[in-house]
Amino acid sequence: MVLASGLLANGTAQAQQAASEVGQWGPVMNWPIVAVHAALLPNGRVFFFPYGDDPRLYDPVTGNITNLPRAGFNIFCTAHSYLPDGRLLFTGGHVQNGWGLPDTSIYDPFRNSWTRQPVMNNGRWYPTNVTLSNGEVLVVSGSYDVNYSNNRLPQVWTGRGWRNLTGAQLSLDLYPSLHLAPNGKVFLAGPGQTTRYLDTNGTGVWSTVAQRNFPYRGYGMSVMYEPGKVLFVGGGDPPTETAEVIDLNAATPRWRTVGPMAGKRRQIHATLLADGSVLVTGGTEGAGFNNKSTPVYRAEIWNPATEQFRVVAPMSRPRWYHSTALLLLDGRVLVAGGDDHPTAQIYSPPYLFRGARPVISSAPQRIVYGRSFTVGTPNASSIQRALIIRLGSVTHSVNMDQRLNRLNFVRGNNSLTLTAPMNANVCPPGYYMLFLINHNGVPSVASVIQVGGETETPIPALRYKINFQPTNAQVPAGYLPDDGSPFGNRGNNLTYGWNIDNRAHTRDRNAANSPDQRYDTLNHMQKNGSDARWELAVPNGRYTVRIVVGDPNHWDSVYKTNVENVLAINATPTSNQRWFENTVTVGVFDGRLTISNANGAKNNKICFIEIERR
Ligand SMILES: [Cu+2]
Which among 322, 327, 456 is positioned nearest to 391, based on CA atoms?
327
**Ligand 1 centroid vs 323 CA: distance in angstroms?**
9
How do residues 205-260 score in pLDDT, each as one tens digit?
A: 999 999 999 999 999 999 999 999 999 999 999 999 999 999 999 999 999 999 99
Burial zone of 612 (CB within 10 Å; 0-12 exposed, 13-18 middle, 19+ buried): middle
Residues 305-334 have a mean pLDDT of 98
**Ligand 1 centroid vs 98 CA: distance in angstroms?**
10
Is the bond into 191 cis (omega within 30 degrees of 0)? yes
**Ligand 1 centroid vs 339 CA: distance in angstroms?**
9
**Ligand 1 centroid vs 396 CA: distance in angstroms?**
6
**Ligand 1 centroid vs 48 CA: distance in angstroms?**
14
- The whole-angstrom separation of Cα 279 and Cα 273 is 7
* Cα 553 off chain centre by: 43
Question: Burial letters for 568-594: b for 16+ Cβ neighbours within 10 Å, e otherwise?
Answer: bbbbebeeeebbbbbebbbbbbbebbb
How do residues 402-439 score in pLDDT, each as one tens digit?
A: 999 999 999 999 999 999 999 999 999 999 999 999 99
**Ligand 1 centroid vs 120 CA: distance in angstroms?**
20
**Ligand 1 centroid vs 291 CA: distance in angstroms?**
15
Residue 204 clears pLDDT 50, i.e. is over it: yes
Q: What is the model's pLDDT at position 277?
A: 98
**Ligand 1 centroid vs 332 CA: distance in angstroms?**
25
Q: Give percent of the chain above pLDDT 70.
A: 96
How do residues 361-403 score in pLDDT, each as one tens digit?
A: 999 999 988 889 999 999 999 999 999 999 999 999 999 999 9
Collapsing DSSP to helix, strand or coil, 273 comes out as coil
- How many helices (H) and strands (E) would you count in the chain? 2, 57
590 pLDDT band, cuts 50/70/90, is confident
Residue 134 clears pLDDT 80, i.e. is over it: yes
**Ligand 1 centroid vs 401 CA: distance in angstroms?**
19
Q: What is the model's pLDDT at position 460?
A: 54
Which among 97, 77, 398 is positioned nearest to 267, based on CA atoms?
398
**Ligand 1 centroid vs 384 CA: distance in angstroms?**
41
**Ligand 1 centroid vs 57 CA: distance in angstroms?**
20
**Ligand 1 centroid vs 295 CA: distance in angstroms?**
18
How do residues 31-65 score in pLDDT, each as one tens digit?
A: 999 999 999 999 999 999 999 999 999 999 999 99
